[in-house]
Amino acid sequence: MKNKNLPSGTRDEFGSEAEIKETIENKLFKTFRQRGFRKLTTPVLEYSDVFQPLNAENYRSYQLLDDQGESLVLRPDLTLPVARVMSTTGIELPVKWYYGGDVFRVKKQLSGGYNQLTQAGIEIVGYKGIKADWECLEIALTGCQKMAIDDVTIELSHAKFVDTLIDQLALPKPTKDSIKTALFEKNLSKYDQLLRPLEKTAFGHFLSEWPWLFGSFDEVMTALETLPEVEVLQPIINDLQATKQFIKGLFPKENVTLDLSIPSPQTYYTGMAFRGFTEKSAGYLFSGGRYDDLLTNFQNVKTAAVGVAFDVDALVERTPVSPSQPKTLVFFDTDQWDEAEKALKTIPNSTLCLTSSLDAAKKLAAGTNSRLIDLTESR
């Protein structure tokens, strides 16, 4: 029998969606702890200035005022509060944090999105070099595997690639800015018009293909070979190639793609970015990247940092759920408590039935599709 009293959206055949979400969070937290991360908790309410680095279009926040007239928001993101705590508490670096909690974002009407989302993630602060980025990817893909999600596509990108390449072009800055906007918006007619002065240059062939440089990692890398030698781009290309080899070495079944024609997922990213998704999911299962300049928004010291966050709600949608045994309700009289406790230890998936009458216990069992054991029958 289906429980008609459960809220819409719960999986009452196998356990509520809240229970599944809690199970997923616990698995992720266990993984984080096993890899040496410590938990950091941040407040739900933050001063609005904390979130100035966010892309306002994608992270519209719920705002309110405190008793002093200061602007507060319900946190739309968890990375920035971690950075704020780091900068205001004088924590000695390096550190590895993990966190979990809800974020709140105003969604457009009829967008199909939810205003309250659950995230769980890690932040690695104070470690330079690509090993910290790889640790994030290792944890992200291992986390998906533990949820039995084994068809993940990892999309790699780099926050500095577009700006670094455009800086090499012999054009006025306003024109460079317009090219970048047209590239990101895929406004091909304007893009082609702006690049006409460069058609006969060494960059001409690559620039004509640039808007389409996304998808197969190897195909995008092949297209990069048409570029003239740009020394400042080589470290970016090397890191991307090494990261693809790292992923395929540990997770050979996962698909790795590359996109070098999109804006950075966050304006505060400074290096490689990565996102994971499946064909059956509407959004990303996880996303992250390097943000070495973020702490400078709160202090005057540049600090290396990289992180990744899981969308727990997306994991709930994609995690296969096996039918569980029906719950067993143990009904008993108040003087049978010891006997009831013994029953809990011997009967799998059982719980105490705390109703005051047998009739109420039978109704509860019928309404929750549970088995009922009546310890008062032997009296």
Give the tens place of pLDDT for each residue, 153-179: 999 999 999 999 999 999 999 999 999
Long-range contacts, 28-35 (Cβ 8 Å, 24+): 28/100, 28/120, 28/143, 28/146, 28/310, 28/312, 29/98, 29/100, 29/120, 31/139, 31/142, 31/143, 31/146, 32/98, 32/122, 32/139, 33/98, 35/96, 35/135, 35/139
Average pLDDT of span 352-371 = 94
Q: Where does 209-364 show beta strands of DSSP type E?
A: 214-216, 255-259, 272-277, 286-290, 305-311, 328-331, 350-353
Average pLDDT of span 91-99 = 89
pLDDT tens-digit profile of 273-311? 999 999 876 689 999 999 987 766 555 667 889 999 999
Average pLDDT of span 106-110 = 61
- From the list 363, 345, 4, 2, the residue with the least C-alpha distance to 353 is 363
Residue 108: DSSP 8-state: P
Measured N-to-C along each axis, helices 188-195 and 173-185 cross at an angle, to the nearest 10 degrees, of 150
Q: Which pLDDT score is estimated for 14?
A: 37
